[in-house]
Structure 1
Amino acid sequence: MSARLCSVEEITHQAYEIFQQLAPDNLSAKDIEQFNLHHQDYGFIEDSEPDDSWQDRLALESESEHFVQVLVGIEYEDGDEVLANILISRDLDAPFCHVLWKQSETE
C-alpha cells in the first residue's frame, strides 16, 4: 500500500506555520525581533531532501522521500542565519515533525 503524500509546497507551508507558532518559546527575543524586521526582504524558507544528519539524530524508519527538510532564516550579506531546521513528514497517515532551533549565544 502506498503512502498518501501531500505536496512539498503544502508541507513547506505547514512547516512555516509550525515555526511561527513555536518560535516565541524557542528563540531569543532578539532573534524574533530580527526575523520580524527582515523577513519580508531577507527571510527565506527553503525546502530540500533531508540531509544525512537527520539519520544520526533520529531513527527514521520511513522512506526519505516521505520527509522534507525545511530551513527558515534570514539571508544577510555575510551569510545566512538559520533559525530553524525542520524535518517534517509528507505522509498524511503518519504525521511527524522535529525542529532543531538556533541556539542562543548564551547557551
Structure 2
Amino acid sequence: MMSARLYSVEEITDQAYEIFLELAPDNLSEADIELFNEYREEAGFIEDSEADESWAEFVSFEIEPEAFVQVLVGLELDGKDMLFAKILISRDMDAPFCHLVWPRGEA
C-alpha cells in the first residue's frame, strides 16, 4: 500500500512549519503570535518524532510510523516548553495529509 515516494523527514518537517506559520494567525491569540515571533529565533523549536497515541482521537485511520511524522512547534523559555502546535503530517508525496492541534488555542 505504501508508495515509495516519501518526503525526507527534514523536508516534511519544513513543510509542517510552513503550514504552521500560515495557519497560526487564525488559531493562536495575538499575544501568542507576538510571543512566538519575539522569541522564535533564540528559543524556538521544531521537533520531529514518531506520532504518539494521542492522534487516535483526531484521525480515524491507523498511523503508519514510516508514512507520518509528528512535528512539535514551540518555544523553550525559562526551562519550560511552551507548545504552540502539534502537527501530524504525511511523508507520502501521493497522499498528502496534515492535521494540526493548537494546545494554546483553547484560551
Q: Considering the TM-score relative to the shorter chain, is it more than 0.5?
A: yes
Matched, 1:102 2:107: no
The answer on whether the counterparts of 1:88 and 1:98 sit within 8 Å (CA) in structure 2 is yes
Offset of residue 105 of structure 1: 6.2
The answer on whether the counterparts of 2:51 and 2:70 sit within 8 Å (CA) in structure 1 is yes
Of stretches 61-70 and 88-97 in structure 1, the one that deviates more from structure 2 is: 61-70
- Relative to structure 1, the CA distance from residue 99 to residue 105 in structure 2 (aligned partners, 3 Å threshold; closer, same or farther) is closer
The letter for the 1-side match of 2:10 is E
Match of 2:38 in 1: 37
The answer on whether the counterparts of 2:51 and 2:63 sit within 8 Å (CA) in structure 1 is no
Normalised by the length of structure 1, the TM-score is 0.91
Normalised by the length of structure 2, the TM-score is 0.91
Task: Note the residue ranges of structure 2 that are not aligned, 5 or more in a row.
Answer: none
How many residue pairs get matched?
Answer: 106
Task: Note the residue ranges of structure 1 that are not aligned, 5 or more in a row.
Answer: none
Residue-by-residue CA offset, 1:18-57 (whole Å, 9 max, x unaligned):
0000000000000000000000000000000000111232
Residue-by-residue CA offset, 1:69-107 (whole Å, 9 max, x unaligned):
00000001241000000000000010000000123464x
Following TM superposition, the consecutive aligned residue runs of length 4 or more in structure 1 with deviations greater than 4 angstroms are: none
Question: What is the identity percentage for the equivalent residue pairs of Structure 1 and Structure 2?
Answer: 60
What RMSD in Å do the two structures reach over aligned CA positions? 1.5
Match of 1:10 in 2: 11
- Relative to structure 1, the CA distance from residue 62 to residue 72 in structure 2 (aligned partners, 3 Å threshold; closer, same or farther) is closer
